[in-house]
Amino acid sequence: MAEPGGGDPGALLSSGSERRCRARLAAAGRGAAAAAAVLVPLCSVRGRPAVLFTLRSRRLGGPHSGDVSFPGGRRDPADGDAVATALRETREELGLALGEPSVWGQLRTLPDRGLMVAPVVANLGPLENLTLAPNPDEVAEVFTLPLAHLLREENQGYTHFRTAGRYGYTLPVFLNGPHRVWGLTAIITELTLELLAPQHYRRKTVVPARHRSA
């Protein structure tokens, strides 16, 4: 599949793409107030645009232990907004101090087990220029998936859930990487692909407007 932007792999993270995405996110607004936030870390790896994911440590316990996720967590009283929460959590989990200029904007807030979560999109730049120091109490592994990989249909799947014995809803899942990307992280990944590559990606699921237990 040809890359968006005339076949140039870097076009998805180009200055033109950034301006378009920032304008779209600003126009969409931030939605409902969020009690938690995650950072969606865009980056490049050897010149190829990618998304950075973490594998949550099993030391954390809870329903998301061992799952693929983005850096994030609950909002602290000292956090000024969702962006501050996402940047603080990224610093605590990955040892990476980002400034607000790297933030492109915020996707719509999403429900997750009774909490509204704000996904904050940021560009880390070339991963080779960064030194990550993952907190082993929170992060078991850090890995990236190229945007080209995520945009290929053969790497996109869907999980159907039943409620009271009947079809309930469908959520996306991204396959064929080192780990399966599913649940809230997959929903946020899907929204991010729709933002970055609207000519090449069309969401096939309905974003949940209320609590889901996935």
* Cα(153)–Cα(156) distance, integer angstroms: 5
CA 147 to chain centre: 12
C-beta separation of 138 from 60 below 8 A: yes
CA dist 184 and 110 (Å) reads 8
Contacts of 214 (CB under 8 A, 6+ apart): 159, 161, 171, 182, 183, 184
Contact 129, 138 (CB under 8 A): no
Encoded tokens for 199: 């000519």
- Digits of tens for pLDDT over the chain (214 positions)? 444 433 454 689 999 999 999 999 999 877 667 999 999 999 999 999 999 999 998 776 666 667 899 999 999 999 999 999 999 999 999 999 999 999 999 999 999 888 999 999 999 999 999 999 999 999 999 999 999 999 999 999 998 888 888 887 889 999 999 999 999 999 999 999 999 999 888 887 777 665 444 3
